[in-house]
Structure 1
Amino acid sequence: MSERRLISSGSTFEREIGYSRAVVDGDWVHVSGTTGFDYAAMTITEDVVEQAEQCWRNIDAALTEAGASTADIVRVRYLLPDAADFEPCFPVLRRWLGEVRPAATMQVCGLSDPRMRIEIEVTAHKNSRIPVSHPSG
C-alpha cells in the first residue's frame, strides 16, 4: 500500500482554496494546475512567456520535493484563456519537455484571476524517467 504525501509551495491559494501543490502517491506525482505566480512574493508578470517560465520553475520545485523531476513527466495539460498566447510559449515548453515528450493537451478556458495567462498541470511517474538535460532557465 502506497503512502500519500502532500506538498505545498506556500502559496496563499493553497490555503485559501484547500488544495496541495502536489500529491505523491507511491511512484505517482500529481502536480496541481500551476500558474506564473512567484509564490514566495505572490507576484505575477504580465508577459505570458515569463509566466510560462515561472510555471515551470514552480512545477520543478514541487517535483524535486516529491523526489521526481521533469524527466518523469508523463502527462501535461496547458490551460490558456487566449489560444494566441500558446505559440509564443513553445520555446519555453520545448526547453523544459522537448526531450521528455509527454502526452499533452492544450485547452482554452477561463482562469481564476485575469492576470493569469497560462496554467500548467503535470503528472509524473518516478519509474518512467528519461535521461534529459535540465534547462538553465
Structure 2
Amino acid sequence: MTERRVILSGSTFEEEIGYARAVIDGDWVHVSGTTGFDYTTMTISANVVEQAEQALRNVGSALDEAGCSFADVVRVRYLLTDREDFQPCWPTLRRCFGDIRPAATMLVCGLADPRMKFEIEVYARQPAEPRPAPAAS
C-alpha cells in the first residue's frame, strides 16, 4: 500500500467543494487546478498575468510542502478563459518551466468563477533524495 497524504492551502474552495490542493500518492504529487486567488485574503487580480504569477506561487507552496519544486514537475495543464490571454503569460511560465520542459497542454474553457482567467494543474515526482530544508532567516 502506497502512502497517500493530502495538502491543504486554506482556500475556502477546498472545504466548500471537497478537494485538496494536492495529493501525494507514493512519490507522485498531483496538484489540483490552481487559480490566481491569494488564499490568505481570498482576493484575485483582474490581470491575467498577475493571476498566473499568484497561481504559480500557490502551486510552488504545495510543491514545497510535498518536498518538491518546479524542477520535479513532469506535466502541466493550463486552462484559460480566453486564448488571447495565454501568450502574455508565457514569460511568467518560462521562468518556472523554461529549463524543465514538462509535458504541457493548454485548454480554453469556462472556469468556476467569472473572475478567474487562468488555472494551472501540475504533476510532479518527488526527488529520490529529499531536498535540504531551507535555511532559517
For normalisation by structure 2, the TM-score amounts to 0.92
Question: How far does residue 127 in structure 1 lie from its aligned partner after superposition?
Answer: 3.3
Instruction: Write the distance in 2 (CA, Å) between the matches of 1:21 and 1:127.
Output: 20
Question: How far does residue 128 in structure 1 lie from its aligned partner after superposition?
Answer: 7.6
The percent of aligned pairs where both chains have the same amino acid is 69
2:31 corresponding residue in structure 1? 31
Give a deviation string over 1:50-79, Cα, whole Å, max 9, x none: 000000000000000011111100000000
Instruction: Write the distance in 1 (CA, Å) between the matches of 2:128 and 2:5.
Output: 20
- 2:84 counterpart letter in structure 1: A
Map residues 11-90 of structure 1 onto 2, 5 A cutoff: 11-90=11-90
Preserved contact between residue 72 and residue 128 of structure 1 (Cα < 8 Å): no
Gap change, CA 1:128 and 1:51, over 3 Å in 2? farther
Secondary structure of 1:75 counterpart: strand
| CA RMSD after TM alignment | 1.2
* Unmatched tracts of structure 1, length 5 or more: 130-137
1:121 corresponding residue in structure 2? 121
Preserved contact between residue 31 and residue 123 of structure 1 (Cα < 8 Å): yes
Instruction: Write the distance in 2 (CA, Å) between the matches of 1:57 and 1:13.
Output: 17
Map residues 95-114 of structure 1 onto 2, 5 A cutoff: 95-114=95-114
* Unmatched tracts of structure 2, length 5 or more: 130-137
List structure 1 segments (4+ residues) > 6 angstroms apart after TM superposition.
none
Instruction: Write the distance in 2 (CA, Å) between the matches of 1:79 and 1:116.
Output: 10
